[in-house]
Amino acid sequence: MHLRIVGENIWIESDGTEGGIALELLELEVPQEDIVLGFIRPKNRHLTDFSVA
């Protein structure tokens, strides 16, 4: 897994975990709008419930 903190957001650059680090962050009450799925192309990020950055 590769995470970066950019400003107020947590960028998930890659995730090889079984359950998904984004779900674990949500369980820790990190708001969805603070999580960016960096491994998804920018033009497709709007299709997720997470931040588009």
Is 37 exposed, middle or buried (CB count within 10 Å of its CB: 0-12, 13-18, 19+)? Answer: buried
Cα→Cα distances 18→6, 15, 24, Å: 25, 9, 11
pLDDT at position 12 is 97
pLDDT at position 20 is 93
Which tokens belong to 5? 């903190």
Tens digit of each residue's pLDDT (9 = 90 or more) over 5-45: 999 999 999 999 999 999 999 999 999 999 999 999 999 99
Q: Is the pLDDT of residue 53 over 90?
A: no
Q: What is the pTM of this model?
A: 0.88
